[in-house]
Chain A
Amino acid sequence: MNEIFDTILSAAFVAAVIRTTTPVLFASLGGLLSDLVGSLNVALEGMMLIGALTAVVVSAYAPWYVGVLAGLAVGGMLGGLMALFHLRFKADVILVGFAVNIIAAGGTVTALNYATGGDKGTSINLPSKAVPSLDLSFLDAIPGIGPVLTQMFSGHSYLTWLAVFLVFAIWYFLYRTPEGLRFRAVGEYPAAAEAAGISPNRLRTYGLVASGALAGLGGAQLAMFNFVGFTRDMTAGRGFIALGAVLLGRRHPVGTAIAAVLFGAFEALSIALPGILPRVPGEVIHTIPFVVTVLALMLSSKRRVTA
């Protein structure tokens, strides 16, 4: 037991949490923006997956940032597609979202097979690039805690810092700008917003496109930093966990970010545990992030009912 605490309290574990949180954080911020305007985006999983593959394939032929931008763009396009079918053609947003997930699961394998010339499992023979890491080793100079800070915060992906910035940017947008107020109004009570001259469908389109773009970024981070290269179904439920973080985060960017960090921490724990507790079966450890998500969802929702 002590070993577990030693691990959790170490600077290396904090660094691992930051790493596992980043993709989920992007996706959950995206999920927040579409949930706020009233369309729960269940397609985060599929958008991450397609974003990841696109980023990897593009980065094999272009600089890394072009790969990241391609992941972002394809995610945004998927969000636009969802908006088209949901808002214009009146399809249920959850069904549309699942259609995107299904297309993503099949389409990424098909596209990977084509891009690699016959490999259906991984992109290992594509010379894809990684997102560079930001070196903060100058923190060493701070007396006392410097080395610990370096271990925690140095060497993370550029995108990690972008995600941190986005939490505050989205908070600022939602709570300090007129357009953000409209965003929240549409989610709160669409009829009133419409009476005030705000078009709910326009904002819902923005919300879905933004959520797709952010999920695509999450996918890019996953396949160009957390892992370098694409493997089939590599998102492994992260998009759905991100959706759980949105629901857990009380529709607030900071709450959502805290929930994403919580899930990231348990994912990091499930990576670290096999080394500490070799006798606990790997399958059990693997369920930890999912069990935590279900439990967190149940407990937090209950409080909301009773309050």
Chain B
Amino acid sequence: MTNGKIFFDETRRILFAAAIALLVALVIILIASKAPLETFETFIAGPLSSKRTVGNWIDDSAKLALAGLAFSLVFQARQFALGVQGQVYAGGTVAAAIALSPLGLSWVSIPVAAIAAMMAGAFLGFIPGYAKAKLNANEIVSSLMLNYIAYDIANLFLRLYLASPKSGLTASEAFPASAVYPAFIARTRIDLGVVLALGAVAIVWFLLYRTAWGLRLRLTGHNARFAAYSGIRSNFIMVSAMTASGAIGGLLGALFVQGQGFAKIVVGFEGGLSFEGILIAIVARNRPLAIPFVALGYGYLRQGAALMGYRTDVPAEVIGIVQGIVILLVASSFTLPGRALLNRIMGGSSAARAPST
């Protein structure tokens, strides 16, 4: 198969999955809403309703792209570390501490906070990687536990050191203007974060496809035993992939708190976005250059769902169902909704009948 044909097939599969998921969402809206048509219209057309909502869509997409990038890096190495959420809280807290320090009064705080946030995230990414390589501890469970721990510690830090009493200890003062990512379009959330996200995509693409490290990582992911036979230290590759992924997660934390969306740190600022990176990574088949497009597409649906949550009687959480269905369909290997699927169903049912007769 040529690259073009693969691309075409993949796109068709993804559109099919999205169509099924949207159909399910429509059914849920029909059941749950008192004015289903208007609700569905808000869901589908809401993101384009104003300059501000378009800005929110773009900004969300940049964050989703970073989250997807972080997941895709570990998925490429066939590791299921799921610690992006914890890395976001760690990175965001560190970035906020720098933005609120005297350093925040100078533009220097933006790069310094970004680097510090990446280091904090990288550290959190390193722990499950090291524990797996040296201690054989399952990375799924340890990274998930670290998410809960990081969330609690971030809240503690916020309450004790960063919070403003006026907010009832749930948010800090607004950061000084010099520590906030400048907006490219006034009164929208389209800010420096979009550039950082695209830059991260380009860097990860370069690392994966143009360096020896990237080749080793992809080989390890394809076939760990073959990689080991050819002399690749797969443990080192695994730990470094998880650490680099953690750095991206940390950067995402800085994007959250220093972006135009908040420009301060708030309890639970991440709002569950990190885990949606799983969807981005899977639909993009872990390929960095596909991630921004998938993020834009999914970001649109997410923004639509958020607006539906504000403006109608159906909660924004419906998007979780859409997300899960898309993951299920894209991760499974049936090819097309046509002859092949029909054959499979027919073949499957006759095979299931066979033992009982």
Any B CB within 8 A of the CB of A277: no
| Contact of A297 with B153 at beta-carbon distance under 8 Å, contacts A94-B80, A98-B278, A120-B315 already known | no
Which B residue sits closest to A302, measured CB to CB? Answer: B135
Any A CB within 8 A of the CB of B324: yes
Q: Which of B2-35 contact A (CB under 8 A)?
A: 28, 31-32
CA distance A99 to B328 in the complex (A): 6
Q: Which of B142-186 contact A (CB under 8 A)?
A: 142, 144-146, 148-149, 152-153, 155-156, 159-160
Nearest Cβ on chain B to A77's Cβ, whole angstroms: 14
**Pairwise interchain contact B315-A109, C-beta atoms closer than 8 A:** yes
Any B CB within 8 A of the CB of A290: yes
Which A residue sits closest to B33, measured CB to CB? Answer: A114
**Pairwise interchain contact A283-B156, C-beta atoms closer than 8 A:** yes
Nearest Cβ on chain A to B159's Cβ, whole angstroms: 7
| Contact of A95 with B324 at beta-carbon distance under 8 Å, contacts A110-B318, A244-B141 already known | no
Contact with A along B307-340 (1 / 0, CB 8 A): 0000001110111110111011001111000000
Any B CB within 8 A of the CB of A100: yes
**Pairwise interchain contact A247-B320, C-beta atoms closer than 8 A:** no
CA distance A109 to B282 in the complex (A): 24
| Contact of A247 with B148 at beta-carbon distance under 8 Å, contacts A95-B327, A106-B320 already known | no
Contacts of B188 in A (CB 8 A): none
Any A CB within 8 A of the CB of B131: yes
Q: Which of A82-110 contact B (CB under 8 A)?
A: 85, 88-92, 94-96, 98-100, 102-107, 109-110
Which A residue sits closest to B326, measured CB to CB? Answer: A99
**Pairwise interchain contact B324-A103, C-beta atoms closer than 8 A:** yes
CA distance A240 to B144 in the complex (A): 7
**Pairwise interchain contact A281-B156, C-beta atoms closer than 8 A:** yes
Any A CB within 8 A of the CB of B348: yes
Nearest Cβ on chain A to B187's Cβ, whole angstroms: 29
Which A residue sits closest to B328, measured CB to CB? Answer: A99
Any B CB within 8 A of the CB of A164: no
The binding surface of chain A is classed by DSSP as: helix
**Pairwise interchain contact A290-B315, C-beta atoms closer than 8 A:** no
CA distance A96 to B192 in the complex (A): 35
Interface residues on B, range: 35 or more
Any B CB within 8 A of the CB of A237: yes
Contacts of B148 in A (CB 8 A): 236-237, 287, 290
| Contact of A247 with B141 at beta-carbon distance under 8 Å, contacts A89-B334, A107-B321 already known | yes
From A95, A100, A236, A305, B135 is in contact (CB under 8 Å) with A305
Any A CB within 8 A of the CB of B53: no
Contacts of A304 in B (CB 8 A): 136
**Pairwise interchain contact B136-A305, C-beta atoms closer than 8 A:** yes
Interface centre among A88, A99, A302, A304 (most CB of B within 10 A): A99
Any B CB within 8 A of the CB of A42: yes
Which B residue sits closest to A296, measured CB to CB? Answer: B137
Q: List 11 A-B pairs, Cβ < 8 Å.
A: A85-B328, A88-B344, A240-B145, A241-B145, A244-B141, A281-B156, A291-B145, A291-B149, A294-B149, A299-B135, A301-B135
Which 7 A-B pairs have CB atoms at the shortest separation, nearest pair first? A106-B320, A89-B332, A103-B324, A283-B156, A91-B332, A109-B317, A99-B327
Residues of chain A touching chain B, judged by Cβ–Cβ distance below 8 Å, are 40, 42, 85, 88-92, 94-96, 98-100, 102-107, 109-110, 113-114, 118, 120, 236-237, 240-241, 243-244, 247, 281, 283-284, 286-287, 290-291, 293-294, 297-299, 301-302, 304-305
A40-B140, A241-B145, A286-B152 are known contacts; what are 18 more A-B pairs with Cβ within 8 Å? Answer: A96-B327, A96-B328, A96-B332, A98-B82, A99-B328, A102-B279, A105-B320, A106-B319, A107-B321, A109-B315, A110-B32, A281-B160, A291-B145, A293-B145, A294-B145, A297-B131, A297-B138, A297-B145
